[in-house]
Amino acid sequence: MILQTATALTQPDVAADTVGHSDFPLSCQWFAAHQWQPFPFQLQVWQAVTHGQSGMLHATTGAGKTYAVWMAAIERFALKKTGKSDPEKAPKSARRKAITQPLTVLWITPMRALAADTERALIAPVEALNLDWSIGLRTGDTNSAERSRQSKRLPTALITTPESLTLLLTRQDAAETFDSLKMVVVDEWHELIGNKRGVQLQLALARLRRWQPQLITWGLSATLGNLQHAMDVLIPNASNALLVQGKLAKNLIIDTLLPPGIERFPWAGHLGLRMLPQVVEEIESSPNSLIFTNTRSQCEIWYQALLEARPDWAGLIALHHGSLDRNVREWVENGLKEGTLKAVVCTSSLDLGVDFLPVERVLQIGSPKGVARLMQRAGRSGHAPGRASRLTVVPTHSLELIESVAAQDAIAARNVEPRESPQKPLDVLVQHLVTIALGGGFSADDLLAEVRSCYAYRQLTDDEWHWALAFVRHGGESLTAYPDYRRAIPDEHGVWHVPDAHLARRHRMSVGTIVSDASMLVKFWAKGASGKSLGSVEENFIARLKPGDHFLFGGRLLELVRVHEMTAFVRKATGKKAAVPRWNGGRLPLSTELANAMVARMDSAAHGHFDGPEMHMIKPLLQVQSDWSALPTNSNLLAECMQSREGWHLFLYPYAGRSVHLGLASLIAWRAGKHQPNTFSIAVNDYGLELLSATPVDWETMFKQDIFSTDHLLIDVIGSLNAGELAQRRFREIARISGLVFAGFPGAHKSARQVQASSSLFFDVFRKYDPNNLLLSQAQQEVLQQELEIDRLSTTLQHLQSKQLQLMHIKRPTPFAFPLLVERFRESSSSEKLADRIARMVADLEKAAGGGAYMPQESVTQQAKFNMQEKVYKKRERVRKTGLPSGVAHSDSSQENTTPRRTRIIPPKPRHGF
């Protein structure tokens, strides 16, 4: 059932009109007096909860979701059960109150900071109504005094994280602990549903429901495309559940910061420093701003650039990203909360968890990559009911003008990305088995039914289940000799337990599904001793520096003093020039929703429609594209062929995001190579792909054949890409989650490289001696699903088949082709050659465009030089590492979790019969 509610009510009389003032429950009256008039959707939630119904509440950030559910919980469980509040007594802090009411409500948030904020929010009404409820917080930050208090008895409402909940399930007395639980609330469910953390939570909730079949479950979500699925995953038998959409008349304004002129605006590039003066102006004109960047190094660079432009802002602006030390980050968050900071440059680290912050202005530097992300970030401003949220996109190259306007279209049409639950990840299941074996033990049949009640495991086969049991019993076929892998064993009654206290401890220390990268701590070195911690950087970045070298980190210029035990000690440095660390993060491909909106804009441009200032501005560039070649449309697939000194180029623009393009390019190269032996170089970006061959290819004929066929897709993709190597990288995470590899005691600083080495060892051993190990196939599945987006590739292929091919022979690279050329050059083998090449290309382009009209890329040459250096470094590293004992396959940690930017493919020689 879907209920759609009307516009927000800000006038008290309207609210009273709608919900009936006299029917106000006590808790609602409290809200009426202290907070605001309830929105209709809040009352819907209230009605459902007081009738014992589960459901999901979807509304924009800042709409009051937390209070909607909380006041309902109070009404149902505090006021009805324990009688009226007692206004005579002096209120006592609910945080320290003696526990008279047992654990009733469990509140789960994906972040510690959010948990702390939530605690503050929940306490207020409990104290004001003077309920005999106690509120408590349980995360990794909870101190030992509070922990021991909680180990005796949990508070009435416990706020926690998925990981901490799982840890509670490892308690021997878990069943009694949750005996009195009545309701679970999962906050920011959209953040969890699509990943393994969400699966871990699904398993934990199934456990709680076994003990409490009547458990009321509520999910809170924002910015999600597939609400029904999200509810189905959270609540089994969701047909009885209620989906409430709080439709607020929230104004979401997305606009674009236009460059002064399109003529000198780059065709490629990602930093966007060209826009610095305009951005400074925007920051100036507003009391406080958040400036989102897409990567951590970009964040550092922009912070520095802003300071250089406005030295008087020192102390007024700050930066925030995931590699900075927690203290630094908390300082920044507090500065935002208190309004003492004028601007913060950040990454997604501030997407969530900064509720109740007074931010006026949000800027997004570079591509937003997805609709949901942009909405989420826009929601950081005007974070209160009735106030407009505004976000301004700052393009870093010309085509991002279209991306920005496309994002506005997608938001207007509410085309938000869906998120799907992963399908039966066995590493998470294996971890869960040990968790439950610890938490009182299990009998196999009962637990199987419970596990299958989770959406992610609803199709778990008997074979898979027995494999998982065998795996926790003796580590599968190849590890039976090792006692460390006998983690759970059935007793004579068939109840599985963990046989060994040592293994139990190790398991508790490995709970969770987040696997971190290899990194090194950065600390100050003062007077011969270790000082304040600043954060962490990639091992391999530090390895490239020698003592005395300067680098930029956390907004400071630092000098490397020494490296000792996985810590880089630094001191403050002076000067101007420094290296900026590059972290290896995940890659965010352009989402389907945003890409489709872009193609739609391109299509209308091809038909002569240029609506809005962005399209108007980019018109001359699209004119060049269409003069030299053509524009892609909804019905046409644009392909461009070009001959250069390098060979024969094919450019194709499917607009399907970089990971699909990588798979697609490899596939085309592979299939083309079957018809005609050839060697291809590949380059991809979010908009298209390039195939470069040494000999000409008759693409026209080739496209008429089965090159876009979805037949044998899996086989061809696995064959064309080195899927085995990709799977090995994936396996590191699986090995950690499934408990094969122990990351060591906290603070022991076992190198993540060691973890990598041992997981590679397991990978090889399994492949040799236990090829049916299901964790191997899981690794391959994950590569196909997540890194290559095989489903999206398949739909892209179908889509391409239905399109009319428009093959253009071009004389020079078009505005669309140019960024792809640059992408490939970035790893060119000779920087001198590259410098010449770029210069020549720019000159050619300018000539072609009628004199000095286009400047495609800023500082490509220096960039190439740096890459060159890195390449030499990596090569040296590889040589150094060949000293490893044979049999221990090694994979460079800098390469983890990344798909190759460029692959050279040499397809197989045609076999007989072809």
Partner DNA sequence: GACCTGCTGCGGTGTG
> What part of residues 36-75 is at the interface with DNA (CB under 7 A)?
none
User: What three-state secondary structure class fits 681?
Assistant: strand
Instruction: Give the range of 476-484, 673-681, 796-804, 860-868 binding DNA by CB under 7 A.
Output: 860-868
Which long-range contacts link 380-383 to residues 24+ away (Cβ below 8 Å)? 380/61, 380/290, 380/350, 380/351, 380/354, 381/290, 382/62, 382/251, 383/61, 383/62, 383/355, 383/356, 383/357, 383/358, 383/359
Instruction: Provide, rounded to whole angstroms, the least separation between the CB of residue 205 and DNA.
Output: 17
Q: Which is nearer to DNA, 160 or 288 (CB)?
A: 160
Instruction: Provide, rounded to whole angstroms, the least separation between the CB of residue 354 and DNA.
Output: 10
Q: For the sheet with 636-644, list strands across it.
A: 804-809, 636-644, 647-652, 689-693, 680-684, 904-905
Residue 113 lies near DNA (rule: CB under 7 A): yes
Instruction: Provide, rounded to whole angstroms, the least separation between the CB of residue 152 and DNA.
Output: 16
**Tokens representing residue 477 in the block:** 């076929």
- What is the sign, positive or negative, of the torsion defined by CA atoms of 58, 60, 63, 66? positive
Q: Which is nearer to DNA, 288 or 349 (CB)?
A: 349
- Choose among 521, 518, 532: nearest CA to 583: 518
- Choose among 362, 365, 401, 389: nearest CA to 258: 401
Q: Which is nearer to DNA, 659 or 781 (CB)?
A: 659
Residues 804-823 that bind DNA (CB under 7 A): none
Residue 874 lies near DNA (rule: CB under 7 A): no
Instruction: Provide, rounded to whole angstroms, the least separation between the CB of residue 139 and DNA.
Output: 3
Instruction: Give the range of 76-84, 614-622, 720-728, 857-865 binding DNA by CB under 7 A.
Output: 857-865
| Amino acid (one-letter) located at 210 | R
Instruction: Provide, rounded to whole angstroms, the least separation between the CB of residue 311 and DNA.
Output: 17
Q: Which is nearer to DNA, 9 or 498 (CB)?
A: 498
User: What three-state secondary structure class fits 471?
Assistant: helix
Q: Which of 110, 219, 382, 554 binds DNA (CB under 7 A)?
A: 110
Q: Are 815 and 624 in contact (CB under 8 A)?
A: yes
List, in sequence order, the alpha helices (H) in 259-380. 276-284, 296-309, 326-338, 371-378
Instruction: Provide, rounded to whole angstroms, the least separation between the CB of residue 287 and DNA.
Output: 25
Binding mask 427-466 for DNA (x = CB under 7 A): ----------------------------------------
User: What three-state secondary structure class fits 570?
Assistant: strand
Neighbour tally for 444: CB within 10 Å:
14
Residue count at the site for DNA (CB under 7 A)? 74
How does strand 680-684 pair with strand 689-693? antiparallel
**Tokens 């030295």 appear where?**
311
- The count of C-alpha atoms lying within 13 angstroms of the C-alpha of 17, restricted to the half-sphere facing its C-beta, is 6
Q: How far apart are CA 623 and CA 627, in angstroms?
A: 6
Residues 578-607 that bind DNA (CB under 7 A): 578-580, 582-588
Residue 704 lies near DNA (rule: CB under 7 A): no
Q: Which is nearer to DNA, 58 or 329 (CB)?
A: 329
What DSSP designation does 224 have? -
Which long-range contacts link 195-198 to residues 24+ away (Cβ below 8 Å)? 195/422, 195/513, 196/422, 196/425, 196/427, 196/428, 196/513, 196/737, 197/110, 197/162, 197/163, 197/512, 197/513, 197/514, 198/162, 198/233, 198/421, 198/422
Residues 741-800 that bind DNA (CB under 7 A): 743-747
Residues 195-234 that bind DNA (CB under 7 A): 195, 197
Q: Which is nearer to DNA, 34 or 505 (CB)?
A: 505
Q: Which is nearer to DNA, 579 or 810 (CB)?
A: 579
Residue 865 lies near DNA (rule: CB under 7 A): yes
Residue 141 lies near DNA (rule: CB under 7 A): yes
Instruction: Give the range of 23-31, 80-88, 108-116, 871-879 binding DNA by CB under 7 A.
Output: 108-116
Residues 342-361 that bind DNA (CB under 7 A): 347-349, 351-353
Residue 271 lies near DNA (rule: CB under 7 A): yes
Task: Report the residue count for the chain.
Answer: 914
Instruction: Provide, rounded to whole angstroms, the least separation between the CB of residue 138 and DNA.
Output: 7
Distances (CA, A) of 533 to 121, 324, 328, 518: 31, 9, 9, 17
Instruction: Give the range of 215-223, 574-582, 777-785, 788-796 binding DNA by CB under 7 A.
Output: 574-582
Residue 837 lies near DNA (rule: CB under 7 A): no
Q: Are 519 and 309 in contact (CB under 8 A)?
A: no
Q: Which is nearer to DNA, 596 or 685 (CB)?
A: 685
Instruction: Provide, rounded to whole angstroms, the least separation between the CB of residue 247 and DNA.
Output: 27
Q: How far apart are CA 151 and CA 72, in angstroms?
A: 28
Instruction: Provide, rounded to whole angstroms, the least separation between the CB of residue 513 and DNA.
Output: 7
Residue 295 lies near DNA (rule: CB under 7 A): yes
Q: Which of 20, 140, 494, 696 binds DNA (CB under 7 A)?
A: 140
**Tokens representing residue 292 in the block:** 């989102």
Residue 903 lies near DNA (rule: CB under 7 A): no
Instruction: Give the range of 80-88, 158-166, 592-600, 602-610 binding DNA by CB under 7 A.
Output: 158-166
Instruction: Give the range of 229-237, 282-290, 631-639, 866-874 binding DNA by CB under 7 A.
Output: 866-874
- What is the sign, positive or negative, of the torsion defined by CA atoms of 822, 615, 795, 423? positive
Residue 477 lies near DNA (rule: CB under 7 A): no
- Choose among 268, 261, 257: nearest CA to 858: 268
Q: Are 140 and 112 in contact (CB under 8 A)?
A: yes
Instruction: Provide, rounded to whole angstroms, the least separation between the CB of residue 700 and DNA.
Output: 30
Residue 527 lies near DNA (rule: CB under 7 A): no
Residue 658 lies near DNA (rule: CB under 7 A): yes
Q: Which is nearer to DNA, 199 or 243 (CB)?
A: 199
Instruction: Give the range of 155-163, 230-238, 462-470, 756-764 binding DNA by CB under 7 A.
Output: 155-163
Instruction: Provide, rounded to whole angstroms, the least separation between the CB of residue 319 and DNA.
Output: 10
Instruction: Provide, rounded to whole angstroms, the least separation between the CB of residue 341 and DNA.
Output: 17
- Choose among 890, 899, 665: nearest CA to 759: 890
Instruction: Provide, rounded to whole angstroms, the least separation between the CB of residue 560 and DNA.
Output: 11
Instruction: Provide, rounded to whole angstroms, the least separation between the CB of residue 500 and DNA.
Output: 12
Instruction: Provide, rounded to whole angstroms, the least separation between the CB of residue 749 and DNA.
Output: 10
Backbone angles phi, psi at 905, to 5 degrees: -115, 125
Q: Which of 204, 301, 438, 448 binds DNA (CB under 7 A)?
A: 301
**Tokens representing residue 613 in the block:** 């200032």
Q: Which is nearer to DNA, 369 or 730 (CB)?
A: 369
Residue 418 lies near DNA (rule: CB under 7 A): no
Residues 362-381 that bind DNA (CB under 7 A): 366-367, 369
Residue 323 lies near DNA (rule: CB under 7 A): yes
- Choose among 523, 566, 563: nearest CA to 743: 566
Residues 493-512 that bind DNA (CB under 7 A): 505, 508-512
Residue 382 lies near DNA (rule: CB under 7 A): no
Q: How far apart are CA 47 and CA 637, in angstroms?
A: 52
E strand or H helix that includes residue 114: helix 112-128
Instruction: Provide, rounded to whole angstroms, the least separation between the CB of residue 327 and DNA.
Output: 14
CB-count burial class (<10 Å; 0-12, 13-18, 19+) for 308: exposed
Residue 867 lies near DNA (rule: CB under 7 A): yes
Could you give the angle at which helices 399-412 and 592-606 cross, rounded to 10 degrees? 110
Residue 516 lies near DNA (rule: CB under 7 A): yes
Residues 717-746 that bind DNA (CB under 7 A): 743-746
Q: Which of 171, 270, 799, 812 binds DNA (CB under 7 A)?
A: 270
**Tokens representing residue 649 in the block:** 């180029």
